[in-house]
């Protein structure tokens, strides 16, 4: 069974840092593109970052460039999002998501982690 288990959310002051983790199981992690998507309270889904299966290619939403870093450890089946210089407007539930091998969609999602910047 494919599982994405998230950890690392919480409260942080503006300007602070936080690291989100997404521990995966039930599939060959190293074969899949992974993404982070967030959702501010009462708002829609917003893509944050993308990382290719071998970490060669990363892409960031404009708001994340220079402040967020997506990374992965294929040996540990682990996806990470390091966030720094956090702003009040970064308050959101952050989801990790798997991309299937032959499509640009996201077929499995983590349970979400709430990040509150205040």
Per CB under 8 A, residues contacting other proteins are 35, 37, 44-47, 50, 59, 61-62, 95, 100, 103-107, 109-112
Cα 27 from chain centre:
18
Our CB check for other proteins shows the closer of 29 and 50 to be 50
As given in the structure block, the two tokens for residue 94 are 């952050």
Minimum distance from residue 58 beta carbon to other proteins (Å): 10
Our CB check for other proteins shows the closer of 13 and 44 to be 44
Minimal CA–CA distance to 110: which of 93, 97, 101, 92? 97
| Pairwise CA distance, residues 17 & 42, whole Å | 24
Minimum distance from residue 75 beta carbon to other proteins (Å): 26
Q: Are 20 and 36 in contact (CB under 8 A)?
A: yes
Minimum distance from residue 1 beta carbon to other proteins (Å): 13
Q: Are 117 and 17 in contact (CB under 8 A)?
A: no
As given in the structure block, the two tokens for residue 114 are 């709430």
Our CB check for other proteins shows the closer of 61 and 78 to be 61
Minimum distance from residue 95 beta carbon to other proteins (Å): 6
Our CB check for other proteins shows the closer of 73 and 107 to be 107
């Amino acid at each position: 069974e494919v599982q994405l288990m998230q950890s690392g959310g919480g409260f942080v002051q503006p300007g602070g840092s936080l690291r989100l983790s997404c521990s995966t199981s039930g599939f060959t992690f190293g074969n899949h593109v992974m993404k982070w998507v967030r959702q501010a309270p009462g708002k829609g889904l917003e893509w944050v970052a993308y990382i290719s299966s071998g970490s060669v290619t990363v892409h960031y939403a404009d708001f994340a460039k220079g402040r967020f870093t997506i990374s992965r450890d294929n040996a540990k089946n682990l996806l990470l999002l390091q966030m720094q210089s956090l702003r009040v407007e970064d308050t959101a539930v952050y989801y990790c998501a798997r991309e299937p091998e032959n499509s640009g969609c996201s077929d499995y999602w983590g349970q979400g982690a709430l990040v509150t910047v205040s």
